[in-house]
Amino acid sequence: MKVRARVGIALVIAPAAALGFCAAGAAGAPARAPSGPPLSSPVGTSTEASPAQSLPGGGDPLVENGLGSPVCQGGPTNAQNLSHQVLQNCSTSGWVAAGAPTSNYAFDLHANGGPIGVDTQGLFQQYLLAPMWMGLVWIVHALLAMLEWAYTIDFIDGPTSSGSLGRGLRETQAVFTQPWLVLALAVASVLTAYHGLVRRQVAQTVGQTLLMATMMVGGLWVIADPVGTVGEVGSLANQASLGALGAFAQGSPGTGARTLSDGIRGVFTSGIEGPWCYLEFGDVQWCRDPARLDPKLRAAALRLAGGEQALVGCKLNNGLFSSCATPGSPQARAYSRSAELLRDARTNGQLFLALPSNGKARNSTESPNGLLTVLCGGSEIGKCRGPTAAQAEFRGAGGTEQRAAGLLLIVVGAVGMVALLAFLSLRLLAAALMSLFYLLLAPAAVLAPALGDGGRAAFRSWATRLLGAVVAKLIYSILLGAMLAVVRVLVALKGMGWWPQWLLVCAAWWGIFYHRHHALGVLEGRRFDRKVVLPVEEH
């Protein structure tokens, strides 16, 4: 009996003393960070964040207001991880998916006026078809930007969040955890004495006490160093996610960042650039095939590039263009970007995308250097001549029905792409936000193990959900990688027209979206067994 009494007293005093010592150590400096470096900080690395580089996104309201590409701000260190085309897009637009501003993907309208001076078909295109198309373009741009941000933003170990996060956790610990910790330990001592002395469950009580101490010490460690604990796990999960993305999409786990940027560019090219070619010219092959680049259009584009470059720092107006631009101004950067895109264009579509939609240089027949003048072979839509007359006439009244029917098919197919992108981007961002949310619950969760079996179960649930939110990105990365691989294979198919290829890609988007939960269930190990009805034997 004396031995059991001594064991019971030891079980009461030991956990209280150990946890009290941990609480006293944390209470000694409630407003200061730990003196040692975080576990995730490499030796010799500065913790100060470098200032973000300015992006050349002038003319693109989405990029200018934050929906650009984070990888485009990485400077020369990211060059070896990105493809040449992505680097070129970063230099001209600040976004990995396209080199031209998003607003340039609007299709051109050329109204000649109707019998009573009103072009009803032009109004139909301007106020119904054009807004519907640009709404789709902006939504896809926003979702792809969100998808990219989901792999680059870090709420726990980011340059702007790690210091404030640790400070907030320690302040909450000082205000909430420490005052209640004494009461929680008193409750734990009473429960330990009851189970160890009264119920004589010595071995079980020792195990539960050690488990409680381990849980509470682990919770206090997370509060003291969130970056070195949860942040380190998140960094490893993020690297594994990019590796899985590269492995499933490109067959190489070491090219995750490049696979993500190339995949985003591929989705935008197949989902937006191809449909734009149809809505702009009615001939996707002529728009996208470098072998069909029109030499007259190319020569006119080079003259336009020289004229735009001459406007930077000039003093007088210059023909087709309205005004000069001060060097370094947003207008000067727009001119320089447009001139660079015109010189680098290798397809007919890229020549038009280098210029603002419905502008004089792109959609006017008033100047011999205008692209539409060269495309039409004349000065009036409706009377075009030459090998590219059909492409020019498509933007007039004669192309209204074909544009309307084509846009209907494009929107029906693109809705599946939008739904799938929205599902993946929102799930990835939600996982990052929930990991931050569960981490901020640590000051309360650390008290739960002292409240008996129910409290320890609550702590295990909290820790499991925190870990699940941190590593959830890996599951969604596999699904995203498989989607990018399917799109890449379908886009590479030869021997068919653009419309059959577009319908196949749309079917893939809709199919993956429809079966997304089943695919995630397979990846998560959930079983989808069919119910088997057994016959009832009659006696």
Q: What count of Cα atoms within 13 Å lies in the side-chain half-sphere of residue 516?
A: 20
Q: Which of 215-219, 285-289, 315-319, 345-349 has the lowest mean pLDDT?
A: 315-319
Residue 275 CB-half CA count within 13 A? 30
pLDDT attached to residue 134 = 95
Q: Mean pLDDT across the stretch 82-105?
A: 88
| Mean of pLDDT values over 514-527 | 76
The model's confidence at residue 366, banded by pLDDT at 50, 70 and 90, is confident
- pLDDT tens-digit map of 410-429: 999 999 999 999 999 998 88
Asked which of 71-85, 145-159, 230-244 is least confident by mean pLDDT, the reply is: 71-85
d(CA 260, CA 278): 27
In this predicted model, what pLDDT tens digit does every residue of 20-55 receive, in sequence order? 433 333 333 333 333 333 333 333 333 333 333 333
3-state secondary structure 66-135: CCCCHHHHCHHHHHHHCCHHHHHHHHHHCCCCCCCCHHHHCCCCCCCCCCCCCCHHHHHHHHHHHHHHHH
Q: Which amino acid is at 153?
A: I
pLDDT at position 6? 39
Rounded Cα distance between 3 and 11, Å, is 12
- Give 317's pLDDT tier (boundaries 50, 70, 90): low
| Region 453-469 average pLDDT | 86
**Nearest in space to 88 (alpha carbons), one of 432, 362, 456, 341:** 341
The pLDDT, as a whole number, for residue 136 is: 95
Q: How many C-beta atoms surround the C-beta of residue 527 within 10 A?
A: 6
Residue showing tokens 């493809």: 83
- Binned at pLDDT 50, 70 and 90, residue 525 comes out as low
Q: What is the pLDDT of residue 248?
A: 64
pLDDT tier for residue 438 given thresholds of 50, 70 and 90: confident
For residue 480, with 0-12 CB atoms within 10 Å meaning exposed, 13-18 middle and 19 or more buried, which class applies? buried
Average pLDDT over residues 449-460: 84
Tell me how far apart the alpha carbons of residues 296 and 303 are, in angstroms, rounded to a whole number. Answer: 11
CA distance linking residue 458 with residue 356, whole number of Å? 58
Question: Given this model, what pLDDT does residue 158 score?
Answer: 57
What pLDDT is stored for residue 140 in this prediction?
94
Which CA distances in Å does 407 have to 45, 107, 279?
A: 52, 11, 7
pTM (2 decimals)? 0.76
269: CB partners within 8 A, 6+ apart? 97, 98, 491
- Residue 336: closest CA among 348, 327, 349, 345: 327
Residues sharing a CB contact under 8 Å with residue 388, sequence separation 6 or more, in sequence order: 286, 294, 297, 374, 375, 376, 377
Rounded CA gap, 426 and 249, in Å?
20
Give which of 437, 431, 416 is closest to 503, Cα–Cα: 416
Percent above pLDDT 70 for the chain: 74
Confidence of residue 78 (pLDDT cuts 50, 70, 90): low
The better pLDDT of the pair 254, 487 is held by: 487
Average pLDDT, the chain: 76
The whole-number pLDDT of residue 112 equals 62
Span of 17-31, 377-391, 425-439, 501-515 with lowest mean pLDDT: 17-31
pLDDT of residue 242: 72
What does the pLDDT average to over 223-229? 74
Give the closest residue to 226 by CA, choosing from 477, 457, 446, 456.
Answer: 446
Percent of the chain with pLDDT over 90: 23
For residue 454, give the 3-state DSSP assignment.
helix
pLDDT tier at 341 (50, 70, 90 boundaries)?
very high
pLDDT at res. 225: 73
